[in-house]
Amino acid sequence: MEKTLDAFEIGDVGTVKRVGGEGKIKRRLFDMGITPGAEVLMRKRAPLGDPIEITIRGYELTLRKTEAACVTMEVKG
């Protein structure tokens, strides 16, 4: 099943399928390791609901929901 990263529930695991978004943000997502095929675990939401924290390539990354919406994921069952 496909969904964007901002729609992930805590504990969801999936692989990155596509990364969209405006040039600068997209490049930053790539540079931080969010490239197709990378595995992602949705770790938690900040106390106010946004941003979110994920584990990718063995480290913790935080990003806002608006930025996470640029990332299309394949959810693992």
Partner 1 sequence: MKRFALAGNPNCGKTTLFNSLTGSTAHVGNWPGVTVDKRDGVYKKTPEPVAIVDLPGIYSLSPYTPEEVIARNYILDEKPDCVINIVDATNLERNLYLTTQILEIDVPMVIALNMMDEVEKAGDKIDAELLSSRLGVPVVKISALKENGLKDLMETAYAASLKERVGTTVLEESSLAHLIGDVRIALKGQGVKGPLFHAIKLVENDSIEVEMHKETIPMIDEFKATHEDDVFGDDFEALVADARYKYISEYFAPALSKKKQEKFSMSRSDKADKVLTHKVWGIPIFLVILFAIFHLTFSEDFLYLGAIFKLPTLEDLGLLTEDADPLHYGVRLLACIYDGAVFSPGVIINNIWNNMLVGELFGRLGGLVEGSSMAPWAVGLINNGIFDGISSVLSFLPPILVLFLFFSILEDSGYMARIAFILDRMFRRFGLSGRAFMPMIMGFGCSVPAMINTRTLADDKERTATVRVIPFFSCGAKLPILTAVAGAIVAYFGVGNADVITFLMYLLGIVTAVVTVLLMRNTTLKGETPPFIMELPAYHAPQFKNLMAHLWDKTKHFVKKAFTIILASTIVIWFLTHFSFNWHFLEDEAINESILAGVSQLVQPIFTPLGFGSQLGQFGWVFVVAAVAGLIAKENVIATFATLASCLVAMANLNIGGLDIAAEEGIDAVQAMILATGISVPALIAFIAFNMTTIPCFAAVGTAKAELGDKKRFNGTLIFWITSSYAVAAMIYTIGSWWWTAFIWAAVAAAATALVVLKNKRAAKTVKAV
Structure tokens at 55: 């584990």
Name the site residues for partner 1 (rule: CB under 8 A): 13, 19, 23-33, 35-39, 41, 44-51, 53, 55, 57-64, 67
User: CB 31 → partner 1: shortest distance, Å?
Assistant: 4
User: CB 29 → partner 1: shortest distance, Å?
Assistant: 6
User: CB 32 → partner 1: shortest distance, Å?
Assistant: 6
Nearer to partner 1, 8 or 67 (CB): 67
